[in-house]
Structure 1
Amino acid sequence: MEKMLKQDEIDALFEAARAQSAAESEGATAQPEVKARVVPFSFSTAGQISNDQLRAISILNDLFARNLTHNLAAWLRTRFHVSLVSAEQIPFNDFLLRIPEVNYMAAVRLEPLGVLSVIQMEMGLVPPIIDLLLGGEGREGALRELTDIEESILASVVEIVCRELSMAWQPVGLSFNFERRQMQTQAARIMPVNEKTLCLSFEIRMPHGSGLLNLAFPAVVANTVLRRLTSDWGKSRRHAPEVRARMETSSKKIAFGASLQLPSVRVPLKTIETMEPGTVIRFNVPSGTAPEWRVGGQLLATAEAIRQGTRRAARMERRKEEVEA
Structure 2
Amino acid sequence: MSDILSQSEIDALLSAISTGEMDADELKKEEQANKEKVYDFKKALRFSKDQIRSLTRIHENFARLLTSYFSAQLRTYVQFNAASVEQLPYEEFIRSIPSMTILNIFESPPLEGRMVIEVNPNVAYAMIDRLLGGLGAGLNKIDNLTEIESKLMSELFIDCLETFKEAWSSIHEIQPKLLDLETNPQFLQLVSPNETVIVVTLATTIGESSGMINICLPHVALEPILQNLSMHYWMDEKKVEHSPEDHRALAYSIKGSSLKVVAELGNSSMTVEEFLDLEIGDVIVLNQKITDPLIVKAGGYPKFYAQPGKQGSRLAVQILDAMMEGDDIDE
Do Structure 1 and Structure 2 share a fold, with TM-score over 0.5?
A: yes
Pair 1:48–1:132, CA change in 2 (3 A): same
Give the counterpart letter for 1:110 in structure 2.
Answer: S
Name the TM-score, length of structure 2 as normaliser.
Answer: 0.56
- Rounded Cα–Cα distance in structure 2 between residues aligned with 1:166 and 1:106: 15
Amino acid at match of 2:193: V
Deviation for aligned residue 1:220: 2.3
Of 102, 105, 109, 1:104 maps to: 102
Contact kept? 1:169, 1:175, Cα under 8 Å: no
Amino acid at match of 2:203: E
Assess, with a 3 A threshold, how the Cα gap between structure 1 residues 135 and 229 changes in structure 2: closer, same or farther. same
Residue 228 of structure 1 deviates from its aligned partner by 1.5
Q: Deviations over 1:172-204 (max 9, x none)?
A: 222321111124255443221111101111011
Question: Per-residue displacement from partner, 1:21-44 (whole Å, max 9, x unpaired)?
Answer: xxxxxxxxxxxxxxxx99887543
Q: Which runs of 5+ in 2 are unaligned?
A: 1-34, 240-331
Residue 61 of structure 1 aligns to a residue whose secondary structure is helix
Output the CA distance in 1 between the equivalents of 2:187 and 2:86. Answer: 20
- 2:210: which partner in 1? 210
* Structure 1: segments with no counterpart, 5+ residues: 1-36, 239-325
Within 5 Å, which residues of 2 pair with 1:106-145? 106-145=104-143
Which is greater in Rg?
A: 1
What's the CA shift for 1:234?
3.8
TM-score (norm 1): 0.57
CA distance in 2, matches of 1:132, 1:47: 40
1:162 matched residue in structure 2: 161
**Partners of 1:185 and 1:115 in 2: CA distance:** 17
| Greater mean alpha carbon deviation, residues 178-187 or residues 194-203 | 178-187
User: What's the % identity of the aligned pairs?
Assistant: 25
- Residue 245 of structure 1 is matched in structure 2 by none
Q: Is the 8 A contact 1:84 1:202 kept in 2?
A: yes
Q: Distance in 2 between matches of 1:50 and 1:114?
A: 21
CA deviations 1:71-113 (Å, max 9, x no partner) are: 1101111110001001011010000001112211121112102
Give the secondary structure class of the aligned counterpart of 2:106.
Answer: strand
Q: Which SS does the other structure have where 2:178 is aligned?
A: strand
Shift of 1:136: 1.9
> Which structure 2 residues correspond to residues 187-266 of structure 1 after superposition, within 5 A?
187-230=187-230, 232-236=233-237
State the one-letter code of the partner of 1:156.
Answer: E
- Counterpart amino acid of residue 167 in structure 2: A
* 1:267-286 → structure 2 map (5 Å cutoff): none
Residue-pair matches, total: 203
Give the counterpart letter for 2:192 in structure 1: P
Distance 1:184 1:50 in 2: 32
Stretch moving more, 225-234 or 149-158: 225-234
Whole-Å separation in 2 of the counterparts to 1:141 and 1:229? 38
1:175 partner SS: coil
SS in 2 for 1:102: coil
